[in-house]
Amino acid sequence: MPETPAKHPRIRSIEGYHEAYHLSIHHPEEFWASVAAPFTWRRKWDKVMSSDMASGHNTWFEGARLNITENCLDRHLASRGNKLALIYEPNDPKTRHLRLTYRELHQEVCKFANVLHNNGVEKGDRVCLYMPMIPQLAIAVLACARIGAVHSVIFAGFSATAIADRVNDAQATVVLTADGLNRGAKQIPVKRVVDEALETCSSVRRVIVVEHLGWPVHMEEGRDVWYHEEAADVPKTCPAEEMDAEDPLFILYTSGSTGKPKGVVHSTAGYMVWADYTFRNVFQVEENDVYWCTADVGWVTGHSYLLYGPLLAGSTSLMFEGIPTYPDAGRFWEVIDKHSVSIFYTAPTAIRSLMAAPLDNVLSYSLDSLRVLGSVGEPINEEAWYWYYQHVGKERCPVVDTWWQTETGGIMISAMAGITPSVPARAGLPLPGVLPVLLNQDGSEIEGNDQEGYLAIKQSWPGILRTTYGDHERARQTYFAPYPGYYFTGDGARRDENGLYRIIGRVDDVINVSGHRFGTAEIENAINQNPHVVESAVVGYPHDVKGQGIYAYVICHEGAVGKEADKVHIEASIIETIVAEIGKIAKPDKIQIVTGLPKTRSGKIMRRILRKVAEGETSSLGDTSTLLDPAVVDEIIAGKK
């Protein structure tokens, strides 16, 4: 595959930004046709876009044929074959790191793709991945894309029940996993979790296990195979399946305000163009950059900005298996110095946890190689922004605060490093192609600056989700029906006096814990599985490190809680239930056992009151006179954790 001749358009100045923005909004077809031109297409599109924001049917580059891995790998081979594509830094700094050039990565992906083929995976099949942050995860994702299988990565911190829900919803036929994983000082037997999950998954006929820790694992006869045995003599090349522009590339499950996580579906061509364009422009990537995104591939950030964006752009992407505080709070900075990282992209929660450690942990590293810093996942508070800017970026690196969502496929509102304004606590200006609006509760648009409202997007962009897997009506209801004609984000935002956007946070029943999304109903459903529990209500509250913490109010069966000791026991049991239903990441920070919840006469829980109590703002509870039993509020306040 020859390197494509035309250069990918890049914004280099504020004037260039305004020009591109104007064109993208007023002549989107012309704009995106020129952005898409330099990719490798087997067949060019018939139509750049078609959009119906009422039903949520959006398509991009219809009629085009391509394979995204030809764009990530093959087209770089001639000019960048020996350039590093992937650097893997293991959990334990004493273990050797690994580097793969584009040529090597191409080979590994082809081998894995052949193994998938040999195990019966075909175009359109769904493959679930439950894997550690190791090169084989990146390779496996790309291998799926190579043969046209739809990948659905499940973050390897989810429980067996959560895996089963996702595997069953996607009706996956194959699961990829490993013997175990490292997370700081802990080791987790992931294969065992998969085994437990698959007890209730009848669609799965093959499990391919990657050897990582060298642990003995149970291999189910007729179902489970070792990757290294399967890969022993497969060819090092594999033709890329020709895909339609709108064929699904992946499913990624995410939480919403209803109980069950939904499978957000992204398609091939639009996602590719969006991931590439946003990556190059937001981070202002140059040929020699070493880029590090600390997100796990189990989240959308890992999809778009650890794998697809960087590889599409021919960059060197670093993949880190460990955690920020292992073996100590200097690990991130040590890795940056070790690999001369120039662009670093992480989450506010990680920054806040490292701010709490003695400053020496960061000051003892040079960090000279850094050029651009990024933040993602939740609002970054000013204190964390300044710490990041000052102590990590040494006041010489622009900070880009990137706002986006699983559903948007890529960054929507953000500074472009060194080009558009980067102001603490502001995501900034919309990227070309993004038309944000602020809405009133009644759905009318709020004009002008210095205004606050519900954040919605008025025009389709290439990375917009295509559907929720197996249930388009759910996508329509969630994103397109609340304010007809707009994509509704679920976030509240402020447009400041200069037109820069500040994201305030979710306006629905979603809480953002350390950059991870949970629906309050989802956690309540889990808690209600506990045999002691009658009813529960979950709210978020401000948490110094996590951004938001989880506060659970729980009513237990009469007689279950008598003495204090019973309470301790029941709380531990509730936590166990949540860990089993969702995973450790959804553990509540506080559980308060109550005898009643504040309900209206029609039986609706007044969460506003529960949120105020959790926030410690009991003096401003507002009107409680419509409550069925106002006395429960006093009890709740008295027992506040």
Cα distance between residue 204 and residue 439, in whole Å: 44
Residue 297 C-beta: closest distance to ligand WT7, Å: 13
Interaction pattern, residues 449-488, with ligand WT7; x per rule: CB under 6 A: ----------------------------------------
Residue 262 vs 391, nearer CB to ligand WT7: 262
Residue 301 C-beta: closest distance to ligand WT7, Å: 5
Residue 195 vs 491, nearer CB to ligand WT7: 491
Binding ligand WT7 (rule: CB under 6 A), the pick from 36, 172, 181, 503 is 503
Region of 44-52, 153-161, 402-410, 439-447 interacting with ligand WT7 (CB under 6 A): 402-410
Residue 91 vs 512, nearer CB to ligand WT7: 512
Residues numbered 52-111 forming contacts with ligand WT7, rule: CB under 6 A? none
Our finding on whether 522 is near ligand WT7 (CB under 6 A) is no
Our finding on whether 301 is near ligand WT7 (CB under 6 A) is yes
Please name the residues in contact with 571: beta carbons below 8 A apart, sequence gap of 6 or more.
591, 593
Binding ligand WT7 (rule: CB under 6 A), the pick from 314, 379, 428, 598 is 379
DSSP SS3 for 170: helix
Please name the residues in contact with 363: beta carbons below 8 A apart, sequence gap of 6 or more.
391
DSSP 8-state class, residue 454? E
**513, 251 in Cβ contact below 8 A?**
no
Write the single-letter amino acid at 69.
T
Binding ligand WT7 (rule: CB under 6 A), the pick from 512, 514, 520, 592 is 512
CA distances for 341 relative to 174, 292, 336, 509, 547, angstroms: 36, 7, 5, 38, 27
Tell me phi and psi for residue 254, to 5 degrees: -145, 155
DSSP 8-state class, residue 75? G
Our finding on whether 404 is near ligand WT7 (CB under 6 A) is yes
Residue 564 C-beta: closest distance to ligand WT7, Å: 37
Tell me phi and psi for residue 25, to 5 degrees: -85, -40
Binding ligand WT7 (rule: CB under 6 A), the pick from 156, 160, 376, 416 is 376
Residue 365 C-beta: closest distance to ligand WT7, Å: 25
Binding ligand WT7 (rule: CB under 6 A), the pick from 276, 401, 522, 524 is 401
Write the single-letter amino acid at 99.
R
Closest CA to 553 of 531, 535, 568: 535
**Using H for helix, E for strand and C for coil, what is the string for 352-384?**
HHHHCCCCHHHHCCCCCCCCEEEEECCCCCHHH
Residue 477 C-beta: closest distance to ligand WT7, Å: 17
Binding ligand WT7 (rule: CB under 6 A), the pick from 314, 377, 430, 583 is 377
Our finding on whether 405 is near ligand WT7 (CB under 6 A) is yes
In this structure, the dihedral spanned by the alpha carbons of residues 452, 456, 462 and 468, taken in order and rounded to 10 degrees, is 140
Between helices 564-581 and 160-170, what is the axis angle to 10°?
A: 30
Residues numbered 205-234 forming contacts with ligand WT7, rule: CB under 6 A? none
Residue 385 C-beta: closest distance to ligand WT7, Å: 11
Write the single-letter amino acid at 474.
R
* H-helix or E-strand spanning residue 84: strand 84-89
CA distances for 186 relative to 161, 182, 610, angstroms: 21, 6, 35
Region of 181-189, 211-219, 415-423, 510-518 interacting with ligand WT7 (CB under 6 A): 510-518
**Using H for helix, E for strand and C for coil, what is the string for 550-618?**
EEEEEEECCCCCCCHHHHHHHHHHHHHHHHHHCEHHHCCCEEEEECCCCEECCCCECHHHHHHHHHCCH
Residue 516 C-beta: closest distance to ligand WT7, Å: 6
CA distances for 267 relative to 248, 270, 408, 486, angstroms: 4, 7, 12, 20
Residue 519 C-beta: closest distance to ligand WT7, Å: 11
Binding ligand WT7 (rule: CB under 6 A), the pick from 74, 195, 224, 378 is 378
Interaction pattern, residues 416-455, with ligand WT7; x per rule: CB under 6 A: -----------x----------------------------
Residue 207 C-beta: closest distance to ligand WT7, Å: 27
Our finding on whether 520 is near ligand WT7 (CB under 6 A) is no
Q: How many residues bind to ligand WT7 according to rule CB under 6 A?
A: 24
Residues numbered 238-277 forming contacts with ligand WT7, rule: CB under 6 A? 254
**53, 84 in Cβ contact below 8 A?**
no
Interaction pattern, residues 138-177, with ligand WT7; x per rule: CB under 6 A: ----------------------------------------
Residue 378 C-beta: closest distance to ligand WT7, Å: 5
**589, 563 in Cβ contact below 8 A?**
no
Residue 576: count of CB within 10 angstroms of its CB: 12
* H-helix or E-strand spanning residue 77: helix 77-80
Residue 45 vs 299, nearer CB to ligand WT7: 299
Cα distance between residue 363 and residue 366, in whole Å: 7
**187, 213 in Cβ contact below 8 A?**
yes
Region of 65-73, 161-169, 271-279, 296-304 interacting with ligand WT7 (CB under 6 A): 296-304
Region of 82-90, 179-187, 335-343, 505-513 interacting with ligand WT7 (CB under 6 A): 505-513
Residue 334 C-beta: closest distance to ligand WT7, Å: 25
Residue 327 vs 492, nearer CB to ligand WT7: 492
* Residues within the interface to ligand WT7 (CB under 6 A): 254, 299-301, 376-379, 401-406, 427, 489-491, 503, 505-506, 512, 515, 517
